[in-house]
Chain A
Amino acid sequence: MRKVLAATVAIMAVAAAVYGLNDADALREHFPERDGVQQSAPKLMAMGRVRGPDGQPVDYPGVDVYSGATGSTTEAPLQLSQADTAAPLTQAPAQAPAQSRTASENAAPAAGQAPNRPQVDESALRYFAARNDQARLQAEISRLRALYPDWTPPNDPLAVPQNGDPQLESMWRLYADGRFAELRKAIADRRVADAAWQPPADLLERLDVAEARARLVNASDLKQYQTVVDIGAQTPALLTCAEVDVLWRIAEAFAETDREVRAKDAYGYVLKSCTNPQERLATVQKASAVLDYAGMQDLLSSEHRNEDGSGEFDSLRDDLSRRFMAEANEDPKMRIADAYITRVEKLAEDGSLASDALLVGWYRLRREDTGAAEKWFRMAREREDSASASQGLALCLIAKKAPQEAEDVMYRWRDDSTDAKDTYMAATANLLAVMPPPVLPEPVLQRIAVEVIEAKDAASAQQFGWYARNFNQPQTAARWFETALSWKPDDEPSAYGLVLSRNQLNDRAGVAAVQSQWQGRSVRIANLGETTEQTLAAQRIAQGSADQQGAQLPAQQYAGQPAVNANAQQVIATQTAPILPAYAPAPVQQTSTAPVRRSAPVASASRGARTERGCTTTIDPEGLAPGAALSRGWCLMELNRPMEAAEAFGVALKRGSGQVREDAAYGQSLAYLRVGLTDNAAVSATQAPLARKRASELQVAILSNRATLAFDAGRYRDALLFLDQRAQLETERVDLMVMRGYAYLNMKRYADAMQVFEAASQSGNRDALRGLADVRAARNNDY
């Protein structure tokens, strides 16, 4: 209890310090916003009707008491509160005419004065009429109506009699002409000359408001938005339907100062209170440039129905739909009403604008509906080829495993933007990673090589390496891997590719160089050359997932689609080997201490021991005996030509029996794992009964792959699930522990991440140590 009291006192003290408030009433007055309009409306009205005839505050919402011939509504002004203003509203009223500042209170018929009809000063009417200023004439009429409920406007404002005070007449003239500074001077002059003279409260108030309007407009034009809001808060008379332009400027000021909700309130005020159809339309148009989709839906709920049943904002529907669609294209999670989507689709189909088709295309693509998106991007490109349309189409094509067309579509636009370049590079990386590798025309390979080198794109360079290996060009492959490493020295898959290629080239010194470079950093590089089945399997699996990873990453950034093809049953044997770019980029500098061999003989001339089994010649395995097909499969696996190996194992599996069949199923499963076709691998593993050890090994590998895939796709929960399943079969490897750690980290489970990295780092693993640092950094950022 004591604590509660103390807290309350403290809050009051803060409020008093900030706002100079010292009692509960004052507090309530200054925080009216949340308590609804009814309570606060009358307090902020300076020019509207403040009190009813009974002296009680008038409820305004929905009551259109004074709607006259002009159709304008008398309404409570938009509510701005203390919280909107930069400084407390302490602007002191002018001293000299002090009594006039509360003009509306004086002028409004209070309870006691009700029987006496107040004198209504109609001078302003005459001046506005004389100037034929209809807008201000009507505004003045509604203002006077609000002030004097019993008053009826004169039929002919021009006939309003002069009030017999020529000086005052000329003051009104100055006012009507907008010569406010001169009017200030005239009033002051007269007061100096005649100390007893009091300017009419009405005139002073009109002048204050007019100057405030001018100042607000100037501040708004100069983007001094806090000043705009402050003036609005000090001048409620400006926040009415007679001053829609001011209301727009207030709304803009809120929007530009990150107060979207208040901006919506201001636009919403116009739609709820004001009746001018053009102004209502313009309000929606202005709001749509500022408010988000949800805010706009709120506003649109104030739409009026026309007599024929149509909506008053129907003419804006097309543009609104486009605008919402564009917003939805920025945020894939956002959902907008189907009506808007259908409308833009129809606009795109019926019309001829490429931009409409683009909107739909991106909308579909962002929601991973690449099949639907493709149609719209093609439509857009037919109407007007553009970087955006081509990029969208390229992403669709990458997703549907047509990277060759993607590359072709994107090539022309590759330099249009960073995004365009990234998309192009993604297309090339995916194209080179296709399994089985397509034979690409030389000009295409050439231009891709040029781009890869120019962009120093390590991912595509690595893919060039694997591509070359797939066509058994280890010399070229080695160069590309070296190049990738020169751009990305810690690219382990490239280093692995390099060591494989050098091994194939029988370059023992080169192999040793890479191994020494990667000592303690990569098990599979270190173990190259050891031939126990288990290490081989581990290598094969690891390499498979590494390949997969490299190819996937670029594409994932865009469409969230795995990039490598899932259905690679074509036979390389039927194809002619492509002509890879003859030149290779600048060789490695720091990653290898071995001399770079620029003109080594081609690979076939220097076969290592393990290639003597004779699988380098490309043949159709279909005609082989099961045992031969099995041997060929293993041989191809060692050459890292897994798709051909899978083919060979497939022949052995189909024809063989017993041990051969079991070996073939095992081999094919490994082969698929290596190219990342985890599902195929799982199927293969069930093709024959496997020894428990092998079954478990495959299961472990499959789960590792799935965990990696899930992790790479950002599905950390799934990754953990796979890792947990895997951990039941085998103790978790350090690299997988690191992955687990990062999964936790990404899920912000810092304590878990810390624990795992700590355990993993005890082996001195660098990634684990880096993980520890990352957790600490993330924690600090979060706190």
Chain B
Amino acid sequence: MFLRPFLTCAAVFLFLCGGLPNPAHSAGVPAAEWEAYKAKFLDGSGRIIDNGNGNISHSEGQGYGLILAYLANDPSDFEQIWSFTRTELLLRDDGLAVWKWDPNAKPHVIDTNNASDGDLLIAYGLALGGAAWNRADYTAAARNIARSLLKSAVVDHAGRTVLLPGLEGFGADDRQDGPVINPSYWVYEALPIMNMLAPSDRWKKLADDGQVLLGAMRFGPRHLPVDWVSIARQPKPAEGFAPEYGYNAIRIPLYLARFGVTDRALLTWLAKATTASADATGIFDVTTGEVKETLSDPGYRLVNDLVACMVDGTKLPDAVRRFDPVLYYPSTLQLLGLAFIAEKHPECL
């Protein structure tokens, strides 16, 4: 009876090993950059510290940490990050992770809601690590999360398959303008892997509908999406959230690129609309189209530079190639972007 799961795992390994960058052979995240990242954001306890956010940790950060450790081909760090993730966050009865861990709160977890992108990232990281290092326990844990997401967080609404950002508080029954979705929670590259872990046509439909819905989110004078979107009817900014293209949405082009989207119009749309000045991107109030905050951290800038290289062949500026981590979030985006370029677009360097 225990043979069957192993056989399935083997099948997953074949898929994964054939279709994904093998960290042993590809550039991935260079050791020096990973060391710098760890020194700044990885605590001995295995938690990734969001230093721009009161030094909290969250499922998203743990998921990014697992993926980066995999990209750095460092099974030890992966093991360390996983230990914290499993022990401190992967506690919910439904097998998903509680989303937030605060070192200054007692208990450290106050809200037991999940964040579906964090769960996706953790499951994705585990699947990668399980395949790379032949660890069936990682794969089994990834499969549990994928199944639970499919069962509860992937929902159908008005013919579209969407990802609820969290299981509590976002659905059609939870709020007047529900469902509310977050277009930056679609970690597109993880969805085919989820389909291997918990096979269902709905993962593909989720990826397709995600892009269709994203295309319909052109709000205000700049025609930008917002972080939180009501899809009760035609997509529109959700009640109770700032109507902004914010820190969430800023990673959307990176996710699309890493997924392998080559649609020029789709890629340039967001890059063009969010260039605040020559070497900065920004956070925008979509109602007015005004810049709310200019962001010059190389991690943020890299997102648009990466698109520019993909569509126009513009080489990456030195400023965004240098990894000198300051804040957790842009540093994470930068490593993910640089690893992608090293792997798929070395001509940009």
Contacts and interface: CB of A to CB of B under 8 A. Distances in A.
A184 B83 contact: yes
B139 A92 contact: yes
Contacts of A13: none
Interface in B1-30: 1-2, 4-6, 9
A87 B5 CA distance: 14
Contacts of B135: 94-96
A184 B79 contact: yes
A22 interface: yes
Interface stretch (A215-223, A285-293, A412-420): A215-223
B44 A95 contact: no
B61 to A, nearest CB: 14
A96 B84 contact: no
Interface string B83-97: 110111011110100
B107 A189 contact: no
A563 B334 CA distance: 81
A179 interface: yes
Given A86-B93, A90-B140, 20 more contacts: A26-B1, A91-B141, A92-B2, A92-B5, A92-B6, A94-B135, A94-B136, A95-B134, A181-B87, A184-B80, A184-B82, A185-B76, A187-B79, A188-B79, A189-B76, A211-B83, A211-B87, A218-B107, A222-B109, A224-B112
Contacts of B93: 86, 224-227
B80 A192 contact: no
Interface in B293-346: none
A185 B133 CA distance: 14
Contact of A188 (B1, B75, B139): B75
A95 B91 contact: no
B45 interface: yes
A20 B84 CA distance: 31
A439 interface: no
A576 to B, nearest CB: 64
A51 B205 CA distance: 53
B66 to A, nearest CB: 13
Contacts of A19: 1
A91 B137 contact: yes
Interface string A187-218: 11100100000000000000000010011001
Interface string A161-198: 00000000000000000011110111111001000000
For A221, A222, A226, which residue has the most chain B Cβ atoms within 10 angstroms? Answer: A222
Contacts of A223: 112
Interface string B126-165: 0000000111110111001000000000000000000000
The 9 closest A-B pairs by CB, nearest first: A181-B46, A188-B76, A181-B83, A185-B80, A226-B93, A92-B136, A219-B91, A92-B140, A184-B79
Contacts of B81: 181
A21 interface: yes
B136 A218 contact: no
Given A92-B5, A182-B44, A224-B91, A218 B109 contact: yes
B98 interface: yes
B77 interface: yes
A214 B87 contact: yes
A222 B98 contact: yes
A541 to B, nearest CB: 56
B205 to A, nearest CB: 26
A93 interface: yes
A232 to B, nearest CB: 14
Given A211-B87, A215-B91, A95 B136 contact: yes
Contacts of A181: 44-46, 80-81, 83-84, 87
A93 B137 contact: yes
A13 to B, nearest CB: 14
A189 B109 CA distance: 30
For A93, A181, A187, A227, which residue has the most chain B Cβ atoms within 10 angstroms? Answer: A181
A95 B137 contact: yes
A182 B80 contact: yes
For B4, B75, B81, B91, which residue has the most chain A Cβ atoms within 10 angstroms? Answer: B91
A224 B92 contact: yes
Given A211-B83, A215-B91, A218-B91, A21 B1 contact: yes
Contacts of B109: 218, 221-222
A179 B44 contact: yes
26 contacts: A87-B95, A91-B137, A92-B2, A92-B6, A92-B9, A92-B137, A94-B136, A94-B137, A95-B137, A96-B135, A180-B83, A181-B44, A182-B44, A182-B45, A182-B80, A184-B79, A185-B79, A185-B80, A211-B83, A211-B87, A215-B88, A218-B91, A222-B112, A224-B92, A224-B93, A227-B93
Contacts of B107: 218, 221-222
B5 A222 contact: no
Interface in A13-32: 19-22, 26
Nearest to B91: A219
Contacts of B91: 215, 218-219, 222, 224, 227
B284 to A, nearest CB: 37
Nearest to B111: A222
Interface in A88-116: 90-96
Contacts of B2: 90, 92
Contacts of A86: 93
Nearest to A190: B76
Contacts of A184: 46, 76, 79-80, 82-83
B83 A192 contact: no
Nearest to B9: A92
Contacts of B86: 211, 215
B84 A90 contact: no
Contacts of A91: 137, 140-141
A22 B1 contact: yes
Contacts of A227: 91-93
Contacts of A215: 86-88, 90-91
A374 B92 CA distance: 51
Contacts of A186: 76
Contacts of B83: 180-181, 184, 211
Contact of A218 (B44, B88, B134, B137): B88
A750 to B, nearest CB: 36
Nearest to B80: A185
